Structure 1
Amino acid sequence: MSQVSAAPVAGAPVPTVPVAQLAPWALFLGLLATLVLFFVSTDQGAVSVFSGTALHEFVHDGRHLLGFPCH
């Protein structure tokens, strides 16, 4: 069986990303993930952002897949 070496290729530049450019995207994605988690886990009527059950029914299967009870 042949073995593939995982050694980097000589002369291939490794890109670097400054933290100052990465931080706004990390903050945005963190806030977006928190918002999605709120809608999947909490928003079901008692603490509801939108009236009606459309949002609840839209995330219903995902809620059960993640282990959140809703009945």
Structure 2
Amino acid sequence: MNTSVHTTLPVAVAGQSIPVRAILPWAVFGLIVSALLIYFVGAEQGATSLISGHAVHEFVHDGRHLLGFPCH
């Protein structure tokens, strides 16, 4: 008695297009997060500092050097 189950996989799955209206909020969110990240890694020190102290500077210090931002 043969009790094996055979399943078939689709040969090709057609891609679905995603409308720009669905992508736009995520793109704006990604742009804002990226801009904040670049600010905190590249410019969060001195006169333009949003957070007082050196905690943020020390937290992103190695990343700052890796990306080529001068800091001292």
| TM over 0.5, shorter chain | yes
- 2:41 is the alignment partner of 1:45: no
What is the TM-score of this pair, normalised by structure 1?
0.82
Size of the aligned set, in residue pairs, is 63
Identity over aligned residues, as a percent? 51
- Give the AA of the match of 1:26: A
Q: CA deviation at 1:46?
A: 1.9
CA distance in structure 1 between the aligned counterparts of 2:12 and 2:59, rounded to whole angstroms: 50
- Give the AA of the match of 1:62: G
Q: CA deviation at 1:45?
A: 2.1
RMSD after superposition: 1.4
> Which secondary structure does the structure 2 equivalent of 1:46 belong to?
helix
CA distance in structure 2 between the aligned counterparts of 1:14 and 1:31, rounded to whole angstroms: 29
CA distance in structure 1 between the aligned counterparts of 2:57 and 2:34, rounded to whole angstroms: 18
Which residues of structure 1 form unaligned runs of 5+?
1-8
1:12 alignment partner in structure 2: 13
Segments ≥4 residues shifted beyond 6 Å: none
1:69 alignment partner in structure 2: 70
